[in-house]
A and B are shown apart, each in its own frame.
Chain A
Amino acid sequence: MNRGLLAKSIREATLVTVMLSAALMLIEGILSYVLPTVMQDFSATLLQLPFFRTIIQALLGADVGDQLVPQTFVAIAWVHPTVLALVWTQAIVFCTRVPAGEIDRGTIDMLLGLPVSRWQVYVAETIVFLGSGLVMLLMALIGHRLGIMSVAAEDRPGIGTMLVIVANLYCMFAAVGGLAFMVSAIGYRRGRAISVVFGILIFSFMLNFLVQFWAPARVFAFLGVLNYYQPLPTVRTGDWPIGDMLALLTFGAVFWTAGGFWFARRDICTV
């Protein structure tokens, strides 16, 4: 691996990664603190509202039962739209930088004028991307552990369970990254690549809600990325969602590989 390419990628990604990681830690900490302490008092009332119940169910991908217990709040803290938005933003912003971003701003001429193959550039970006995901989710986990200290020790999920959830989220992060890499490899404009991936994720998110309300949509539930990331069953059982994680990793790997081949064979035009 070319150290220079890694150094370049790290330098380019550091600021955004630090900012989004800090934001994720903060949000995760706040949610983990606020949800169990504040919402528990209203949970019984809130669950009387059918729409609220459906939304929570759609968010978590599983029935919450008649009462919101601490485990439910933990799960909500990991599927909250703000958390998903931050994780997806990191994946989309990072993975559309090369090649679409480099082509867009014209800097790819200098980069590919060096003795590096396009696969080397692509792999270096991917390694740093995966590393940035680890940093980000570790920060989120720290935020969560700090926030949840207000919950009684016996109601807190163990660190092992939390690592399973984080691993599942990391697989989703990798899958979204793989998709973003592929879209970026095909395009010439970063803004367009971001819009396309963002649009797909919004569709996926909405699909996840739709299947709760509309039975015919359930046929397409497998297309929703959140179909493979459901922390509530994990919090309840502590089991590894191996099938979901493998599905996410497979999607990511397929998209990423397709993007790599496309990038390696495409023409590079900046003028």
Chain B
Amino acid sequence: MIEIERLTRRYGSRTGVEGVSLRIDAGSLFGFLGPNGSGKTTTIRVLLGFLRPTEGRASLFGRDCWQAGRQIRQDVGYLPGDLRLYPSWTGQQYLKLFGQIRRRDIAAAGGDLADRFSLDMAVPVRKMSRGMRQKLGLLLALAHEPQLLILDEPTASLDPLMQEQLLQLLRALAEKGHTVFFSSHTLSEVERLCDRVAIVREGRLVADETLETLRGRARRRFTIRWVRLTDAADVKPPPFLAVDERRNRTWDGSLTGETPQLVQWAATQPIEDLTIGHPDLDSLFRRYYAHGPEADAS
């Protein structure tokens, strides 16, 4: 479905992305994560044929994105990260225009989506709130039921209920074989939706894994409460524990080794209480954002 090979895109002396390779199969819910300015939007713009790669290549449905952009976009729904619409147009006019340009009758599907999103299609864009405009952008990206959805920060400006509705809709589409390329800098929504995640940082791909694999790699948080204050001060942490904070009789930190190691070690220590949390994806991603692939090694 999506193939990107050693993609590099430079803007003069500045690098947008460098050496990015990805392969995404049909039916995937693919999360594309990275901080602002990391190269997510550049990658998307290459996929849509807006930018020509400096090196490498990108293809959708087996066709080159730059050469065959028009044909490719027939089956693509796209929501830009910085959505801008003609101010005087209403949702209905937009829907009609997109139907005419796509040469498809999308009125019924658009109407259903408008109902689902509680969007008044008779309101001109200039009178819409940011959230309403975002809903309209999503509606226009979804109305023709594309094989591939490329969504750049789609939940921006949406309220939590609407975000959940959108995620449900995307899950349902993926079950029907549609592919979702979901770009975001927010881990939680990617975690809720996607089955695979790539992380891009400073233009380079620093991870491309299933969410399960990443969860397995993420460290668990732990809290140990010692029986005596002196124990908390005197005991030397074993190598599989990274203690971030010591408060009175308590240690807080993350587990760099395996859970059984911690349990076995704790059984031999004068410990009053031990809490082990879920894998902490948040801190894993923060480390990826901050340090890149070396986060893995640490």
Contact = CB atoms under 8 A, between A and B. Distances in A.
Interface of A: 2-5, 7-8, 11-12, 105-107, 109-110, 112-117, 120, 265, 267-271
A116 B48 contact: no
Interface in B72-115: 72-74, 76, 78, 80-86, 89, 93, 97-103
| A105, A109, A120, A269 — most chain B CB neighbours (10 Å) | A109
Interface of B: 11, 41, 45, 48-52, 69-74, 76, 78, 80-86, 89, 93, 97-103, 137, 140
Contacts of A112: 48-50
Nearest to A270: B82
Contacts, number: 81
Contacts of B103: 2, 4
Contacts of A106: 80, 82, 84
Nearest to B99: A4
Contacts of B85: 107, 110
A268 B82 CA distance: 14
Contact of B101 (A11, A12, A114, A265): A114
Contact of B50 (A8, A109, A265): A109
Given A4-B100, A107-B85, A117 B48 contact: no
A194 B45 CA distance: 27
B97 A116 contact: no
Contacts of A268: 45, 50-51
Given A115-B71, A115-B73, A5 B101 contact: yes
Contact of B51 (A3, A110, A269): A269
A71 to B, nearest CB: 45
Contacts of B83: 109-110
B71 A267 contact: no
14 contacts: A2-B100, A4-B101, A7-B100, A8-B101, A105-B84, A109-B50, A109-B82, A112-B50, A115-B74, A116-B70, A116-B73, A116-B101, A120-B70, A267-B52
The 4 A-B residue pairs whose C-beta atoms are closest, nearest first, are: A4-B100, A4-B101, A106-B84, A113-B78
A109 B74 contact: no
A154 B18 CA distance: 76
A107 B51 contact: no
A172 B101 CA distance: 32
B97 A7 contact: yes
B80 A110 contact: yes
Contacts of A116: 70, 73, 101
Contact of B84 (A3, A107, A120): A107
| B49, B84, B93 — most chain A CB neighbours (10 Å) | B84
B70 A109 contact: no
A53 B69 CA distance: 58
Contact of A107 (B71, B74, B86): B86
Contacts of B72: 115
B140 to A, nearest CB: 7
Given A107-B85, A112-B48, 20 more contacts: A2-B100, A2-B103, A5-B101, A12-B86, A109-B84, A110-B137, A112-B49, A112-B50, A114-B98, A114-B102, A115-B73, A115-B102, A116-B70, A117-B70, A267-B52, A268-B45, A268-B51, A269-B51, A270-B84, A271-B82
